[in-house]
Amino acid sequence: MMSYLQLKRRITPTRTMSADEKCPSRKFPGILGIIGPIIALVAISVAIILSLSWFTWDGNALSDLGNYDNGLLAAIVFNVGLVLAGALLLIFSYSFTKVIKDLPTKIGFIPFFIALIFLIAIGVFSENAGAIHFYVSVGFFGSFPFAMWFVGLGFLRFRKFWWFSLISIIMPFFSIYMWTSWFGGSFPFWSGNAIPEITTAFTGIGWLWLIWILYDRSDLSIITQ
CB 102 within 8 A of CB 65: no
CB 31 within 8 A of CB 25: yes
pLDDT at 15: 47
Which of the listed ranges 10-24, 131-145, 183-197 does the model predict with the highest average pLDDT? 131-145
pLDDT beyond 70 at 19:
no
Rounded (10°) angle between helices 131-155 and 110-124 = 160
CB 70 within 8 A of CB 127: no
How many helices (H) and strands (E) the chain has is answered by 10, 0
Read off the pLDDT band of 223 (50, 70, 90).
Answer: confident
CB atoms inside a 10 Å sphere around CB 68: 15
193-215: per-residue pLDDT in tens? Answer: 898 899 889 999 999 999 999 98
